[in-house]
């Protein structure tokens, strides 16, 4: 069991500017350890940029805080070693087998007892029987499993998943979320961006972005109630409409 700390993510005023436009504009996030958080918002709302700042791949132009207890600005290299980041697009080598991909990632992270770690990842994600299959020949659901296995190979304390179920069939999505819930039960914190309302309902809490700002946060029920909406989707429509009026 992973030891829990009060907050897995605690950042204030995160800001990132591209070509004079604030893609992320003063975001505050306080996320508790061992919970599943949904990261939602329209395309271009700043979700991916925020995730990349949290995992140490981008340096904020402004703002400060910690990710898994490490300073976002000065300890980004250490953050990368303790965070699992799953990108929107499949980013492993399609001309390598499942096992070869996992072994390569384990080498990158300097994982000790590498063979045992790869065997464990294969078993955990149900990939053992397919371990010698080329990654490029996998369906979307199996590629998703491989990508998640690669994120877990170094035993991260935090998972940042950027639209991991986009284009995946309903059965694979359901199985994926069962795995995510199991990881949270082990004490791993999960921040997952999604456009699916059924997935949002599975999260312990939600953060909703538009125009680079946090428009709402809380449980699905809290956001629906605060927005005086009939359901979560209606709440998000109202939030975006209000933000658009303010932005213009």
CATH of the domain at 210: 3.40.50.300
> What is the chain's mean pLDDT, rounded?
92
Q: Bigger pLDDT: 168 or 20? A: 20
Domain membership of residue 147 (yes or no) is: no
**Model-level pTM?**
0.91
Tens-place pLDDT, residues 12-62: 999 999 999 999 999 999 999 999 999 999 999 999 999 999 999 999 999
- Sorting pLDDT into bands at 50, 70 and 90, what band is 151? very high
Is pLDDT at 243 greater than 70 in this prediction? yes
Tens-place pLDDT, residues 97-110: 999 999 999 999 99
Domain membership of residue 127 (yes or no) is: no
**Percent of the chain scoring above 70 in pLDDT:** 97
The token pair that represents 220 in the structure block: 């699905």
Q: Which residue has the tokens 């005086």?
A: 228
Q: Look up residue 89 and give its DSSP letter.
A: S
How many domains, the chain? 1
Domain membership of residue 111 (yes or no) is: no
Domain membership of residue 117 (yes or no) is: no
Is pLDDT at 91 greater than 50 in this prediction? yes
Residue 3: per-residue pLDDT = 41
Is pLDDT at 232 greater than 80 in this prediction? yes
Distance of CA 223 to the CA centre of its chain: 21
Domain membership of residue 99 (yes or no) is: no
Q: Phi and psi (nearest 5°) for 20?
A: 80, 0
Range of the domain at 207: 7-92+156-247
- A 10 A CB-CB count for 143 gives 21
Q: Where are the alpha helices (DSSP H) in 187-231?
A: 197-202, 220-226
Domain membership of residue 197 (yes or no) is: yes
Domain membership of residue 150 (yes or no) is: no
- Residues 6+ away with beta carbon under 8 Å from 130: 98, 138, 142
Tens-place pLDDT, residues 180-224: 999 999 999 999 999 899 999 999 999 999 999 999 999 999 999
Residue 2: per-residue pLDDT = 41
Domain membership of residue 146 (yes or no) is: no
């Amino acid at each position: 069991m992973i030891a829990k700390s009060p907050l897995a993510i605690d950042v204030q005023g995160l800001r990132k500017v591209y070509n004079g436009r604030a893609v992320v504009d003063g975001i505050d996030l306080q996320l508790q350890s061992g919970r599943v958080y949904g990261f939602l918002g329209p395309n271009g709302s700043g979700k991916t940029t925020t995730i990349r700042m949290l995992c140490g791949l981008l340096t904020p132009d402004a703002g400060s805080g910690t990710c898994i207890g490490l300073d976002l600005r000065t300890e980004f290299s250490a953050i990368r070693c303790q965070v699992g980041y799953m990108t929107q697009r499949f980013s492993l080598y399609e001309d390598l087998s499942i096992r070869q991909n996992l072994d390569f990632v384990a080498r990158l992270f300097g994982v000790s007892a590498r063979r045992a770690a790869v065997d464990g990842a294969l078993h955990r994600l149900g990939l053992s029987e397919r371990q010698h299959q080329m990654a490029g020949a996998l369906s979307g659901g199996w590629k998703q499993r491989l990508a998640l296995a690669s994120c877990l190979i170094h035993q991260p304390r935090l998972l940042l998943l950027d639209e991991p179920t986009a284009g995946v069939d309903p059965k694979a999505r359901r199985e994926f979320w069962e795995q995510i819930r199991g990881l949270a039960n082990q004490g791993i914190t999960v921040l997952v961006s999604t456009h699916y309302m059924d997935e949002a309902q599975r999260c312990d809490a939600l953060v909703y972005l538009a125009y680079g700002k946090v428009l709402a946060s809380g449980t699905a029920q809290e956001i629906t109630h605060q927005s005086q909406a009939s359901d979560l989707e209606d709440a998000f429509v109202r939030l975006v409409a209000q933000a658009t009026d303010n932005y213009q």
